[in-house]
Amino acid sequence: MKELIIVATITAKEGYEVLVREALQQVVPPSRAEAGCIRYDLHIDLGNHASFIMLEAWCDEAALAEHEATPHFQQLVNRIGGKADLQILKLNQVL
């Protein structure tokens, strides 16, 4: 099975840019340490500093599900809930 690619766009609501950025930065190291994680990289949109892009690669859907159940991910969800808008793309490479 091909790896699962996630492109998560997180856009902080006005006044929450710093909080959202810090919360996202904190989740990166423990996420990268997970067994099923291939890639977990945080980016900022140069045209909109309230918009962050998390590029992720996971071994499979099960690895992503395990990630989403971790305490560090749940803490992120609770910390930025209501303070950011989220769009998630789940992709598999075709070629």
Domain that holds residue 70: 4-91
Question: pLDDT grade, residue 95 (50/70/90)?
Answer: confident
The pLDDT of residue 70 is 98
- Count of domains for the chain: 1
Q: Are 32 and 84 in contact (CB under 8 A)?
A: no
Cα–Cα distance for residue pair 38/58, rounded to 1 Å: 5
For 28-53, the pLDDT digits (tens) are 999 999 999 999 999 999 999 999 99
What is the rounded average pLDDT of the residues 41-68?
A: 97
Structure tokens at 94: 């075709």
CATH number, residue 50 = 3.30.70.100
Mean pLDDT, all residues of the chain = 97
Residue 1, pLDDT above cutoff 80 = no
